[in-house]
Chain A
Amino acid sequence: MTKRLKIYTPFISAGIQETATYRVDLIFYLLGDVLACFVSYFIWKAVFISSESEFLHGFTMPQMIVYIFLMFLTSLLIYSDGTYNIGEEIRDGSIAMRMLKPVSYNATFLFQEIGNKLVTNVILIIPLVAGVEVVRTYVTGEIQFNILHFVLYLISCVMAYLINFFFNICFGFIAFIIKYLWGANMMKNCVVGFLSGAIIPLAFLPDTLEKVFLFLPFSSLNYTPVMIYMGMYNSSQTAFYLGLQLFWVLFFWGLSKLLWSGASKRLSVQGG
């Protein structure tokens, strides 16, 4: 097992170097996304000011604000861009180089991305969690940090990342059919953004839709970790949704293996 993992360490260190090279760009990019976060902050603030009741679908204004910032943090932690990388490799033919190596194709991506994430997540998680907690203490008036929720949140995030990674790999295989992944990827991000509660909490949807969406794999991405962190789930709900996450991890892992064995047989590279 250690030996098998050892062959992937070069991919991890390549990922680390890749991200470390562009850390300044990363900061600007993040600032751009933080701005988008503030847009939602002000919209929701205006919504609660304009509303007559204190609760909207079970959320108070402070909770909603915490929700927005946690969504941002979670999306960042579990971000995966396998789709795009696979698409690019199919387009420029470098996929052939990766296939020549005696390692698992999907795993090389996973470990390279883990390398990327080691840099970004380790640098970012402490200031961002601290930031979220400061905002939370400020808007609610008392310290809400709960270590158990936080640990469960991290576990949930790891599973969410794996779901995201394998789902993106599966989606990336679309590049075998559609050569233009940018457009398809935009569509995917948009649908996933909605179904995962990143745009609006699923609780704001009509009841039946909410129930259906909670069972779909997308709510396992952002929504489950955020709800756990916020303490919106009781212990049996937490156990249930963590179990559901585990199910989706295994599901997409299996599916990506299946698709890869099918797709690699009919690979046609343009140029290269």
Chain B
Amino acid sequence: MKQIKRAFRMHRIFVAQELKRMMEYKGDFIIGIIGFLFVQASNLLFLTLIFSNIPSLMGWDYTQVVFIYGFSLIPKGIDHLFFDNLWSIGHFTVRKGDFDKYLTRPINTLFHVMVEKLQIDALGEFLMGVALVCVTLPKLQVEWSVLRVVLILAVIPFATLIYTGIKIATAAIAFWTKKSGDITYMFYMVNDFAKYPVGIYNRAIQTIITYIIPFAFTAFYPAYFFLTGENPLFNIGMTVVISVVLMSIGILIWNRGIKAYESAGA
């Protein structure tokens, strides 16, 4: 308990430090947020142009597809906002020998890496996701129930941790290879599949995004449950299970990696 309290206190200190740093470059962080809004806006424009040619995409109408898309941005944005620093481990921290600094501090290395930075740009992604969900909600033909709302909200942190777990596991590969940012990138790109109804893909892709690199649980399955109320055990339950499993694998690889780590650079 005491440890958890200490962790939270430290997290606050790190965040405060980050915010101070950011206020130094106000213009930059506004540009970052707008940049992400641009990316999302262009994807939305793509969907709109596509739907101007067809009434529905294999049974899914425009509102539903936008809802799933918007929902996918929420866990992605949260992970991006808080745990973006994991990218730099695989890209350059280990390679340049800068990782040593984490080993000299009296806190858990993984915790330190995760809370050190705040990627405020990701607010663009997150806010766009929230906005799309809010705009599409009233137009959806959904039977409202307390259970659905509670479950969909409760599943968001778990969906987020699927991203985080995959990032930890792939970043930790750098402890052996010195550089793994591109491996993280490859895995991370699979999340693109999760933004659209899984039914449009062939069997092989469906299997991959459900069981192997299970990004489908970050967006489509939870959103599907919310839209239809079907199969909460799979759509929500599996999301929780998978996120716990992935986080455990990530932490395991990380801890083994720390033991194998030999400093690089000067």
Contacts and interface: CB of A to CB of B under 8 A. Distances in A.
A194 B31 contact: no
List 7 tightest A-B contacts by C-beta distance, closest first.
A180-B28, A186-B35, A183-B32, A183-B31, A32-B189, A28-B182, A46-B200
Contacts of A179: 25, 28
Contacts of A28: 182-183, 185-186
B144 interface: no
Interface residues of B, number: 42
Given A43-B200, A178-B31, A29 B186 contact: yes
A129 B56 CA distance: 34
A110 B184 CA distance: 29
Interface stretch (A66-74, A99-107, A198-206, A245-253): A198-206
A149 interface: no
B58 A205 contact: no
Interface in B54-72: 54-58
Question: Which of B28, B55, B183, B186 gathers most chain A CB within 10 Å?
Answer: B186
Interface of B: 25, 27-29, 31-36, 38-39, 41-42, 45-46, 49-50, 53-58, 121, 179, 181-183, 185-190, 192-193, 196, 200-202, 205
Given A42-B200, A49-B58, A32 B39 contact: no
Interface stretch (A33-41, A120-128, A150-158, A228-236): A33-41
A268 B8 CA distance: 41
B202 A35 contact: no
A31 interface: yes
Contacts of B186: 28-29, 31-32, 35
Contact of A50 (B41, B45, B57, B192): B57
Contact of A25 (B50, B54, B181): B181
Contacts of A25: 179, 181-182
Contacts of A187: 31, 34-35, 38
Contacts of A185: 35
Q: Is the interface of B mostly helix, strand, loop or mixed?
A: helix
Given A25-B181, A26-B182, A199 B58 contact: no
Nearest to A186: B35
A225 to B, nearest CB: 21
Contacts of A184: 31, 35
A208 interface: no
B189 A35 contact: yes
B189 A36 contact: yes
A200 B27 CA distance: 31
Interface of A: 22, 24-29, 31-33, 35-36, 38-39, 42-43, 45-47, 49-51, 56-57, 178-180, 182-187, 190-191, 193-194, 199-200, 204-205
A234 B54 CA distance: 29
Contacts, number: 113
A183 B57 contact: no
8 contacts: A22-B179, A28-B186, A32-B188, A35-B186, A38-B193, A42-B205, A194-B45, A199-B42
Nearest to A26: B182
A184 B32 CA distance: 7
Contacts of B25: 179-180
A179 to B, nearest CB: 7
Contacts of B187: 32
A103 to B, nearest CB: 28
Given A28-B182, A180-B32, A186 B56 contact: no
B71 to A, nearest CB: 17
A200 B48 CA distance: 11
A262 B186 CA distance: 40
Given A35-B186, A180-B28, 14 more contacts: A26-B182, A29-B185, A32-B186, A36-B189, A42-B200, A43-B196, A46-B57, A178-B28, A183-B28, A183-B35, A185-B35, A186-B35, A190-B35, A191-B38
Contacts of B28: 178-180, 183
A180 B189 contact: no
A190 B42 contact: yes
Given A32-B188, A180-B32, A183-B34, A190 B39 contact: yes
Contacts of A178: 27-28, 31
A31 to B, nearest CB: 5
A223 to B, nearest CB: 15
B38 A190 contact: yes
A10 B125 CA distance: 42
B182 A204 contact: no
B48 to A, nearest CB: 10
Contacts of A26: 182
